[in-house]
Amino acid sequence: MTVQPTTTREIVLASRPEGAPTGANFALVERELPELAEGQVLVRNTWMSVDPYMRGRMDDRPSYIPPFQVGEALEGSAVGEVIASRASGIAVGTSVSHFAGWREHVVLDAEAVTPIDPELAAPHHYLGALGTTGLTAYAALTDVAPVRPGDTVFISAAAGAVGSVAGQIAKALGASRVIGSAGGPAKTQLLLEEFGFDAAIDYRAGDLAGQLAAAAPDGIDVYLDSVGGEHLRVAVDAIRPSGRIALVGAISGYNGATGEAGPDLYRAATNEVTLRGMLVNSYFPIFGEYIAKAAAWLADGTLRTRETVYEGLDQAPAAFLGVLSGANTGKMLVRL
């Protein structure tokens, strides 16, 4: 019989950052696990996600999701294995996804876990291409800023988790030209050689507007914005009449003001451009449908993924700091 743990290790918010976070904002602590009550499961987490939006939760301000609390464990998407169960219908050994990452074990109500099918795809994919990452890319390009056959599409943070999936989905939707921007030559090379982009821009090399004009001389029809600031300004200047922009993220400003000039929204107005914000949570009703579609794309090679993996819970803060500064290619994950 397996001996069940009575304690676990978790990462708590030690202090709130001012500007860019550092390792000192996190602490690793050991906590007692509660007794398993009727209707609950004990999960051993195997993978956890670190995501840029978590930076916003480190600040104490109102948002669509409550701030992390100092002294409390952080949370976020994770997958794991049920190692004890008092919930009917969830057997020991079931692989599940849930929202109690940043810890090695967790006791959860049955309603808080979603069984995943490890036969359909390896569990870590449920945090990336088959998780909210992939769903974000899919929803952005099918609903928020729909791609039409023949479109020229521009994707920012293109070598990252959402961006790398988005470029491939844009192609699958019939875009004739897909352009990605990323930081550094290794990432732009990967966009062309691994993820099927037609052109790649290294924004760190400067002259973003000139590089985009060279890659898309007739302008762009769709832009997926993960960055804000200069990227959004340049995209609005390059967008054709009736263009569509999905406001997915604005990572250039997550640590505070950047001094980058914002977009010319009057130009967006006179060109009848649609700029639409999105939150992936609104698309949870189509999650199952998306997973089935994306799992088939993964299996037949339509969708290729990369992961950057940090090992062990104590590396989770470093992984999170890394996703903010571009240390990742594809999805940033922590293996627990």
**If you search the block for the tokens 């089935």, which residue do you land on?**
292
Nearer to ligand NAP, 66 or 93 (CB): 66
- C-alpha 263/C-alpha 266 separation (Å) is 9
Residue from 58, 90, 121, 161 touching ligand NAP (CB under 6 A): that is: 161
Per CB under 6 A, which of residues 68..107 are in contact with ligand NAP?
none
- C-alpha 127/C-alpha 269 separation (Å) is 37
The number of angstroms, rounded, from the C-alpha of 232 to the middle of its chain's C-alpha atoms is: 19
- Interacting span for ligand NAP (CB under 6 A) from 62-70, 181-189, 264-272, 292-300: 181-189
- Interacting span for ligand NAP (CB under 6 A) from 37-45, 65-73, 131-139, 147-155: 131-139
Q: How many residues bind ligand NAP (CB under 6 A)?
A: 29
Distances (CA, A) of 305 to 19, 196, 302: 31, 12, 10
Nearer to ligand NAP, 25 or 136 (CB): 136
Nearer to ligand NAP, 87 or 227 (CB): 227
- C-alpha 320/C-alpha 236 separation (Å) is 30
Residue from 21, 163, 180, 317 touching ligand NAP (CB under 6 A): that is: 163
**Number of Cβ within a 10 Å radius of residue 170:** 28
Residue from 134, 216, 328, 336 touching ligand NAP (CB under 6 A): that is: 328
Binding to ligand NAP by residue 227, rule CB under 6 A?
yes
Indicate the burial class of 24 (C-beta count within 10 angstroms; 0-12, 13-18, 19 or more): exposed
Binding to ligand NAP by residue 279, rule CB under 6 A?
yes
Binding to ligand NAP by residue 40, rule CB under 6 A?
no
Distances (CA, A) of 40 to 93, 112, 130, 232: 14, 9, 25, 46
**If you search the block for the tokens 């062990």, which residue do you land on?**
312
Binding to ligand NAP by residue 180, rule CB under 6 A?
no
Judged by the rule CB under 6 A, the positions of this chain that interact with ligand NAP are 51-53, 132-133, 136, 157, 159-163, 182-183, 187, 203, 226-227, 248-249, 251-252, 278-280, 323, 326, 328, 332
